[in-house]
Structure 1
Amino acid sequence: MSDRPIIGMTMGDAAGVGPEIILKALHRADLYDRCRPIVIGDQKIMERAETFVRTGLGIHPVSSVGEATFQQGQVDVLDLGLLSPELPVGQVSPQAGDAAFRYLEKAIRLAQDGQLDAICTAPLNKEALQQGGHRYPGHTEILADLTGTDDYSMMLSAPKLKVIHVTTHVGLLEAVRMIQPDRVYRVIRLAHDTLSRAGIAKPRIAVCGINPHAGENGLFGNGEEEEKVVPAVEKAKEEGIDVEGPLPADTLFFRAVRGDFDIVVAMYHDQGHGPVKVLGLDAGVNITVGLPIIRTSVDHGTAFDIAGTGQADEKSMVAAIQQAVELAPKS
């Protein structure tokens, strides 16, 4: 079936659980019914991971996407040959951090060239990435930089909750400084456009406040809601977007899970990440919206503490692949 999208799966940090959850996910035959997956990484690391998880899958190294067979039972690996199988498991490594960057860089180029329909990323380790010479806070910023994208945001998707962020990988004081009406408006617009393309005719969008109780009419904070959030919400409303806010975050997420809203605009990292992760790390998917290419990811880290044991749960990776398939361009 040539209409199945080609999904490029980056291996992530080789010292973490990425290779293991990829193998566990690709052990599911139903995924091959929906897509054509190819791993961008290292053959020898994937072979080592198979000794941890024992799925019975074969590793099929290729030098180009065109050489992949996309047959369930053997995992196509676009082998970049960057790492030794002697790389320590469960430890921060500059070599693994650099390799994780190179896998993503290769995947982005392939997607831009039209050889991949979407990218699905396994987790990288931010400390290893920095030690490897790449000064990025994480995947999202690398993707934005290498694709030349200025207007983007991180969206987290769980079965009953979707959250998009105004700011992400910055300290709280810096986040409050960065929250400005134009940025809040653009994120509301990204949320609306993303869900509209996904088939929701008129997405219901809720916007979090910054302070406790969304400022409580000036009782908390210094008027940040009126200055930074209200103008953005009013502008979006004028354009016909179904948006409400700023609303108190302590009750808003309950309302969203209940079904009152299709997506929540969170002001900063922990405001949005906390509720999604309470719902379960095994179900969350990280999606970068605003890019010229499709990118999804697991919503958990490298889990160095269990790397190499075969215990890592692949559910988030399966969900990320499924989301990539759903978002991939339809021919």
Structure 2
Amino acid sequence: MAVDPGHRPLLLTLGEPAGIGPDCALLLWQRAPEQFRDLLVVAPPAWIEARARTLGIDAPVRRLERIAMPPDDRAISCLAEDGWTTAPVRVGQPAPATAGTVIAAIRLAARACLAGQAAALVTGPIEKAVLREGGFAFPGHTEFLAHLCGDVAVVMMLAAPGLRVALLTTHMALRAVPDALDRAEVERAASILDRELRRRFSVARPRLALCALNPHGGERGHFGDEEERILAPAVHALQARGIAITGPLPADTLFAPPQAHRFDAILCCYHDQALIPLKMQGFGRSVNISLGLPIIRTSVDHGTALDRAGTGTASPDSLCCAIETARAMAADSERAA
């Protein structure tokens, strides 16, 4: 189906239906219904309707039969396929019965973006253990999307007001990180980061920093040689290719203002090295962005929060940021095309 690229909707997948994904969507609609002017929720309408009743939110829900811009009547527009489960969702209690539909929704949304029918994909948090019971064979969302997009190389970047961080390694034990670092991987990740900042964020000449692994950058191999053996050679090779990257720089000073503000993004060696400063700066306002995919994908910065589902206490702030970021990235990509 051909869609006018200037009038393509964003797609939102809720993630785990027993978690706060539906809550955040409804609470955001209640606070700012205009955010749904170009947004389709890829989920069975019954999931939204049931959670709306639980939360006491009088939200009109409409099912669309095809991908299209929502009618301008401030309803929540849902896109669902026949055959998706209609099994009731027990709030706070994930069930394998819904796993197939959660996976199918992500697949449908990704393929629609690949086909040019939608401008971007925004994802809610999934419950990985339950999805695996439903046949999900991937470590997480990002790996599944990379597979759907042709097994492309992906870099995880998270952005908060005034700070962007990207990861060389993601979900692994800290003791495994040094062995996982590789010069070629550093060069690959930095190249993707440089390219995507230009293409998706209109940064004309990205200024990148590479964070050291060891305290004080290893002090010339005094405690850890990863900086001299892996990180510094990668930086030199990237600089020779014209990429503006500095480092490796010690983490304890790199994230302190005004140092961090010198850079458009900081490439970090491991998960918490990046996410602790990010969440200190913008918890609830940060966005997870998958760089390297041929589609635009953003996600919330929180998990399923099963204990808060259905209570009305979840914050929709990160979802709002993820939607607005996806919308801005889509606009930048259209201008760059």
Q: TM-score, normalised by structure 2?
A: 0.91
Residue 133 of structure 1 corresponds to: 135
Distance in 1, Cα, partners of 2:108 & 2:73: 23
| One-letter amino acid of the counterpart of residue 77, structure 2 | D
Residue 152 of structure 1 corresponds to: 154
The structure-2 alpha-carbon separation of the partners of 1:284 and 1:100, relative to structure 1 and needing over 3 Å to count, comes to: same
Residue 161 of structure 1 corresponds to: 163
1:14 aligned onto 2:17: yes
Match of 1:31 among 29, 35, 43: 35
Contact 1:93 1:131 in 2 (8 A): no
Distance in 2, Cα, partners of 1:190 & 1:71: 38
Q: Provide the secondary structure at the position in 1 that maps to 2:223.
A: coil
Contact 1:43 1:77 in 2 (8 A): yes
The structure-2 alpha-carbon separation of the partners of 1:176 and 1:131, relative to structure 1 and needing over 3 Å to count, comes to: farther
The structure-2 alpha-carbon separation of the partners of 1:282 and 1:4, relative to structure 1 and needing over 3 Å to count, comes to: farther
Distance in 1, Cα, partners of 2:258 & 2:271: 18
| One-letter amino acid of the counterpart of residue 12, structure 1 | G
1:186 aligned onto 2:188: yes
Q: Provide the secondary structure at the position in 1 that maps to 2:262.
A: coil
Distance in 2, Cα, partners of 1:190 & 1:112: 19
Contact 2:300 2:319 in 1 (8 A): yes
Distance in 2, Cα, partners of 1:237 & 1:171: 31
User: Within 5 A, what are the aligned runs for 1:258-273?
Assistant: 259-273=261-275
Residue 71 of structure 1 corresponds to: 72
Q: Provide the secondary structure at the position in 2 that maps to 1:259.
A: helix
Deviations along 1:218-274, one digit per CA (max 9) or x if unpaired, are: 1212x1111221111111111222211111112212247751211110111121122
**Superposed displacement of residue 162, structure 1:** 0.3
Distance in 1, Cα, partners of 2:10 & 2:98: 22
| One-letter amino acid of the counterpart of residue 177, structure 1 | D
The structure-2 alpha-carbon separation of the partners of 1:164 and 1:148, relative to structure 1 and needing over 3 Å to count, comes to: same
Q: Unaligned regions of 5+ residues in structure 1, if any?
A: none
Distance in 1, Cα, partners of 2:10 & 2:259: 29
**Superposed displacement of residue 297, structure 1:** 0.6
Q: Provide the secondary structure at the position in 1 that maps to 2:327.
A: helix
**Superposed displacement of residue 95, structure 1:** 2.7
1:330 aligned onto 2:334: yes
Residue 212 of structure 1 corresponds to: 215
Q: Unaligned regions of 5+ residues in structure 2, if any?
A: none
User: Within 5 A, what are the aligned runs for 1:228-247?
Assistant: 228-247=230-249
Match of 2:121 among 119, 122, 129: 119
Distance in 1, Cα, partners of 2:208 & 2:73: 40
**Superposed displacement of residue 56, structure 1:** 2.7
Deviations along 1:194-222, one digit per CA (max 9) or x if unpaired, are: 2222222222111011122221211212x
Contact 1:255 1:261 in 2 (8 A): no
Deviations along 1:48-97, one digit per CA (max 9) or x if unpaired, are: 1212344432110122214x534342111012463446322112322333
The structure-2 alpha-carbon separation of the partners of 1:257 and 1:125, relative to structure 1 and needing over 3 Å to count, comes to: farther
The structure-2 alpha-carbon separation of the partners of 1:231 and 1:113, relative to structure 1 and needing over 3 Å to count, comes to: same
Residue 201 of structure 1 corresponds to: 204
Contact 2:39 2:70 in 1 (8 A): no
**Superposed displacement of residue 276, structure 1:** 1.3
Q: Provide the secondary structure at the position in 1 that maps to 2:254.
A: helix
The structure-2 alpha-carbon separation of the partners of 1:176 and 1:102, relative to structure 1 and needing over 3 Å to count, comes to: farther
**Superposed displacement of residue 169, structure 1:** 1.9
| One-letter amino acid of the counterpart of residue 16, structure 1 | G
The structure-2 alpha-carbon separation of the partners of 1:313 and 1:274, relative to structure 1 and needing over 3 Å to count, comes to: same
1:309 aligned onto 2:333: no
Residue 94 of structure 1 corresponds to: 96
**What is the identity percentage for the equivalent residue pairs of Structure 1 and Structure 2?**
36
Give the total of aligned pairs: 327
Contact 1:214 1:247 in 2 (8 A): yes
Q: Provide the secondary structure at the position in 2 that maps to 1:88.
A: coil
